[in-house]
Amino acid sequence: MSEIKEHIRAILTELGEDPDRPGLQRTSERVEKSLRFLTQGYAQSATQEIGNALFHETHNNMVLVRDIEFYSLCEHHMLPFYGKAHVAYIPNGRIVGLSKMARVVDVFARRLQVQERMTDQIADALEAELHPRGVGVVLNAAHLCMMMRGVQKQGSSTITSALRGSFLDDQRTREEFLRLVHGAR
């Protein structure tokens, strides 16, 4: 039995459960499998996910992928937070395959996280890999640690942003990005 399974069994016992009762007999195994999947981002990198999907192109206007679903685990309570990522960049002679932007989001979502850091990690990775004129990232998420426990505010959401290059320095670029992200659906 792996150490994770042993620890899950011990947690179940500490909670007053019998880890050998029919409904819990395989719970420690399922929890381990789930945690390994939900934290697979530790074994991944943006560089690996982007791979050779960089293409020389003269396009020099904003590229935005909106509404990228993501699921992560809060590092403070190990409860899920989930939402949508909106990721944009302005090319500087190279573009990236659109699906790779979603994959970069998943690299950082599949770790124990705080939303603020995850937002910066996505922006920093795209900046490092693409060398664009600018990057903008907005995450909008619901946190079960706020909804199920603590303040128990089910309707709350958290929005974070990271702006780099022209998204930070050029007010018109920033406004266009935010309008496209938050505009009519």
Catalytic residue among 32, 49, 74, 121: 74
Provide the number of structural domains found in the chain: 2
Co-location of 24 and 55 in the same domain: no
Using 50 as the pLDDT threshold, list the residues of the chain that sit under it.
Answer: none
Active-site residue 56, yes or no? Answer: no
Among the listed residues 96, 139, 97, the one whose alpha carbon sits nearest the alpha carbon of residue 121: 139
> How far apart, in whole angstroms, are the C-alpha atoms of residue 150 and residue 169?
38
Co-location of 63 and 106 in the same domain: yes
Active-site residue 145, yes or no? Answer: yes
At 97, which CATH number?
A: 3.30.1130.10
In the structure encoding, which two tokens stand for residue 37, read together? 């999947």
Co-location of 26 and 57 in the same domain: no
Catalytic residue among 29, 44, 77, 131: 77
- The pLDDT value given to residue 57: 94
The radius of gyration of the chain from alpha carbons, rounded to an integer in Å, stands at 20
- The pLDDT value given to residue 1: 63
- The pLDDT value given to residue 150: 87
- The pLDDT value given to residue 114: 98
Cβ pair 106, 48 in contact under 8 A: no
Catalytic residue among 86, 113, 115, 129: 115
List pLDDT tens digits, range 120-134: 999 999 999 999 999
- The pLDDT value given to residue 149: 87
Domain of 22 in residue numbering reads as 3-38
Among the listed residues 95, 98, 96, 125, the one whose alpha carbon sits nearest the alpha carbon of residue 111: 125
Active-site residue 7, yes or no? Answer: no
Active-site residue 76, yes or no? Answer: yes
